[in-house]
Amino acid sequence: MVATNTHFSYSPLDTSQRQFRLVRLLPGGSENKVKAELASFSLDAEVSYIALSYRWGAPTPLYKIQLNGQPFDIQPNLHEFLQYVRVDKSTDWYFIDAICINQNDAAERSSQVRLMGKVYSSAHSVTAWLSDATDRKFRRRMDTFIDTYGTDEKIQASREAFENEIVAIVWSCIYWTRLWIIQELVLAKRIVVQLEHYRLTWVALVSGMRSFFAREVGDPTLWMTNEWYPLSNSNRNARVMLGIMEIRRQRAAVLLPHAMIMFGQQGSAVLHDKAFALLGIAISSMQVDYDAPISQIYIRVLIEGIRQIEIQARQPYTATDMLRKVVWMSVISATTAFGWTTSNETVCLIVQEVTSRDDLRVIRSLGFGASAVSRWKYPKGLGFVYDAMDQLARTPWYSDYIDKKLQRKLERLSEQSERMHLPGCVDDARTVAEWIALIDGVRRQVETDVASPGYAAKVRSALVLNDNHSALVEPDKVE
């Protein structure tokens, strides 16, 4: 993330009062520069505001606005949204993360991210701004849409076609690839989806989605079953939207592994957010700390995820429960979530260190290997999971021979004091002994957290995101 607005002077927030900032536009014509005021409030006080959920988008070009009398740079998508707010002559207070949080202060970002769940759940409403000022494909589609339905008379003349097309545009927006939107929408009291000056309630969007699936599939309940999975996987945005619908409908927290498997492919500018952005909807005792090395976050997610699966597992432990753990370890190890692969010795070492020998014996007995996986018949959409399991099966500890070979290599590395790093984390290299010490430290912290009162009960009561969701059968009644 490129540092901007380094010369803007933020007033410090009182963390003991759970303070956060809100912004509102000052009166002005469309030809004038956007002017706004920024003020601090306590989350414990009654204040009405709208929280903005949007995609930051391209970092350039930057647009200058005036904030509390000082120049402030914002990105194209946000600038376009503020232009529409000004046209509406809105005097509402808004929470907009790029403005309301000092993005150049890691300590403030950490403290504010801890409050994000409360900020979005306390807002009067959440506006999901789907427009993208720099997406040419989106602009062309919106121009055609406006030409076709640009007046109330045109809309009324073909109401059904209008509704179908706007739902299709909403569905195709790159907005749905952003990671932070998950908790922003799940926790919202009510949602307004906005495409330029067109607004759609969440209930209307769900209704439109139901109509689409009924039309395309026949039975909406098949949206995530094996028979229909390839179709849903062809549009990842649909899966994300439907996952949000299901969690909103159930109004329950999910396990950290389930949240990351479902939404881990979403984009974020900062790797830490792969975990932090889901803490508002997932059960976890992880602390938000942007100064922590990403390897520590990775190991924390892996170990806590394993423990949650073990807690929620049936007793006695079955091969099916073990399969869930294998999927989790493989996805988090060979995953798109962190962008690393199990071919790296450091990742192999970590997985080996956090996995019990009993687990390894069960994994081997289940026969996860390249030949076994290649014989399986699985829906196209599940390929990334099974490919990851295949990778896991190929990790050095999978066979005694390779296990010994790795051990000799690790011993040589240790003797030479060579430093190993995770792919993408070249600034966080450690020796084998240092990696093992880090893993042990994180494991002890997780065990302490897991043993705390109420933790196990929360895990056992977590929402289980089954393949056959019912969000399209029993839609969300919240706006």
Tell me which residue of 9, 463, 6, 8 sits closest to 255, measured CA to CA.
463
CA angle 188, 193, 195 (to 5 degrees): 155
Q: How far apart are CA 102 and CA 365, in angstroms?
A: 52
Residue with tokens 């994994």: 363
**Enclosing H/E stretch for 162:** helix 159-172
CB 350 within 8 A of CB 302: yes
Break the chain into its structural domains and give their ranges: 17-253, 256-460
pTM of the model: 0.79
Could you tell me the two tokens for 270? 């900062």
**Amino acid, single-letter form, for residue 454:** G
Q: What pLDDT score does 78 carry?
A: 93
Q: How far apart are CA 116 and CA 93, in angstroms?
A: 16
Could you tell me the two tokens for 343? 């071919």
Q: What pLDDT score does 18 carry?
A: 94
Tell me which residue of 271, 256, 265 sits closest to 388, measured CA to CA.
265
Q: How far apart are CA 313 and CA 329, in angstroms?
A: 15
Q: How far apart are CA 148 and CA 21, in angstroms?
A: 40
CB 171 within 8 A of CB 235: yes
Helix H segments across 395-467?
A: 400-416, 432-450, 455-460
Q: Name the 3-class secondary structure at 39.
A: strand
Q: How far apart are CA 414 and CA 433, in angstroms?
A: 7
Per-residue pLDDT of the chain (479 residues; tens, 9 = 90+): 545 777 899 999 999 999 999 999 998 766 678 999 999 999 999 899 999 999 888 777 889 999 999 999 999 899 989 988 887 777 899 999 999 999 999 899 999 999 999 999 999 999 999 887 667 777 777 777 777 766 667 666 676 677 677 777 787 788 988 999 999 999 999 999 988 877 888 888 877 777 766 666 555 555 444 344 444 444 677 778 878 888 888 777 888 888 887 887 788 888 888 889 999 999 999 999 988 888 888 888 888 888 888 888 765 556 566 666 666 665 565 454 565 555 556 666 676 677 665 665 555 555 444 333 333 333 333 343 344 444 444 544 444 544 565 566 656 655 556 677 776 666 677 877 788 888 889 999 999 999 999 999 888 888 765 443 444 344 444 55
Q: What pLDDT score does 467 carry?
A: 40
Pairing assessment for the beta strands 50-54 and 94-95 based on DSSP bridges = parallel
Alpha-carbon distances, residue 455 vs 255, 289, 443, 458, 459 (angstroms): 12, 21, 16, 5, 6
Name the CA dihedral angle for 238, 242, 248, 253, rounded to a multiple of 10 degrees. Answer: -100
CA angle 192, 196, 200 (to 5 degrees): 30
CB 469 within 8 A of CB 223: yes
Give bridge partners of residue 63 from the DSSP assignment: 74
DSSP letter string, 65-123 = EEETTEEEEE-HHHHHHHHHHHHTT----EE-HHHHS-TT-HHHHHHHHTTHHHHHHHS
